[in-house]
Amino acid sequence: MTRRPGALPCWLALFLALGGASGCIETPAVMSPASRGAGEILWLTWIITAIAVFVFVVVAGLLLYCAFRFRAGPDAPIPRQVASNVPLEIAWTAIPALVLIGVLILTVRTVREVIRPEDAAAATMHVRVIGHQWWWEFQYLDQQVTTANEAHVPVGETIELQLESDNVIHSFWVPRLFGKTDVIPGHHNHLYLHTDEAGVYRGQCAEFCGIQHANMRLLVVADPPDRFAAWVQAQKAAAHTPIDQQAQNGQRIFLESTCSGCHTVQGTSAQGTVGPDLTHVASRAEIAAGALPFSAANLERWLIDPQAVKPGADMPDLHLDGDTISALVAYLAQLE
C-alpha cells in the first residue's frame, strides 16, 4: 500500500495533538487568557493572523499561478510587454491601505476594550509596582504591605497597578492577565488587573533592561478573597523571631552586617531599601526574581556566590564562610 502525500499533514496534526495532550508541548501563556483584557488581545491576535494568512494565500497563489501559467517554454513567444496599468496600480495601493485601515480600527477597538474608563472607578485596590534592576517591588498602598517579585491579588476585584521605574525602561507583562506595559522612569503608567480565575500566573520583564533582563521575572498569585485576606494579615505581621540557636545566630549576623543596609526585615533594625524586603521571604516561591526556586539549598547557593547565579545583580559576593552562610540560611528560611 502506498502512502498518499495527504497523509503527512494528518500525521503531523496527530503528533501535535498527542504532544499537547501528554504535556510535551505547552500551550503558550498568551493563548490561555485568564482575564477579559488578555482575552481581547488574543482575539485581536487571531483576527490579524487570519487577515495575514488570507493576504499571504491570495498573493502567493497569484504569484504561483502567474509563474506557472506564463512560464517560459521552449517555443514560447515573448509576452506582450506592459509599461503601466493605472487601474491595477490604484487597486494594489488601495487594497493594502483598506486592509491596514481595517487592522487599525480593530486595534483601536481592542485598546479601548483593554483599558476602559470604568476600570479606574471599579478599582478597589492600588498597588505601586516599581521596576528595579532586576526585580519587582510591590507596595500595596491600601494594605500597607511591601513585597517583592510575587504579588498576591484577590480574584473578582479590580486592582490598579501604578507602574514606576527608578532606573531604566522595563515592561511589565503577565501574558495570561494583561499585555506588555512599559515601566518608564519619570512617567507613571497604569494597568487594571481583574481575574475571576484563581491561580499562579508567570510574568516577565518584556523590555531589554540590562544583563539580567531574563531574570527579571515575577509571579502573580490570584487567591480567593479569604485566602487573600489571610495573606495580607500574614504579610502585615512583623517577621518571625527565630527560636533555634542557629537561626538566632543568623539574625544577629544579618543585623550586624551589610545585609541590613540593603534589606528590610520588619520588626528588626534592618530597614534597607536597596534590595527586596525580606520580612516574609520564605513565603515566596522563588528567590532573586525567579532566578532560583525558594529552598534552603538554593538560598545557600545564592549566598555562596550571588554573582554566579545572577551576574551583574546588586547583591555582592560577601565572601562568607560556611558557618555564617548556614546561620543566615537558617534565619532566612524561617521568615515565613
Interface residues with ligand CUA (CB under 6 A) are 131, 134, 170, 205, 207-209, 213, 216
**Least distance (Å) from ligand CUA to the CB of residue 89?**
45
Q: Which is nearer to ligand CUA, 213 or 310 (CB)?
A: 213
**Least distance (Å) from ligand CUA to the CB of residue 207?**
5
**Least distance (Å) from ligand CUA to the CB of residue 191?**
16
Q: Residue 293 in contact with residue 286, Cβ under 8 Å?
A: yes
Distances (CA, A) of 306 to 59, 248, 286, 322: 54, 23, 14, 15
Alpha helices in 30-152 (DSSP H): 36-69, 86-114, 117-122
| Cell 495580607 -> residue | 232
Q: Which is nearer to ligand CUA, 114 or 205 (CB)?
A: 205
Q: Which is nearer to ligand CUA, 41 or 205 (CB)?
A: 205
**Least distance (Å) from ligand CUA to the CB of residue 131?**
6
**Least distance (Å) from ligand CUA to the CB of residue 176?**
19
Q: Residue 172 in contact with residue 203, Cβ under 8 Å?
A: yes
Q: Which is nearer to ligand CUA, 134 or 231 (CB)?
A: 134
Torsion angle in degrees (nearest 10) through CA of 328, 332, 334, 336: 170
**Least distance (Å) from ligand CUA to the CB of residue 213?**
3
Give the number of other CB atoms < 10 A from CB of residue 335. 21
Q: Which is nearer to ligand CUA, 119 or 207 (CB)?
A: 207
| Cell 519619570 -> residue | 186
**Least distance (Å) from ligand CUA to the CB of residue 7?**
45
CB-facing half-sphere around the CA of 323: CA atoms within 13 A: 5
Q: Which is nearer to ligand CUA, 170 or 194 (CB)?
A: 170
Q: Is the dihedral of CA 123, 275, 330, 213 positive or negative?
A: positive
Cα 134-149-277 angle, rounded to 5 deg = 90
Q: Which is nearer to ligand CUA, 213 or 280 (CB)?
A: 213
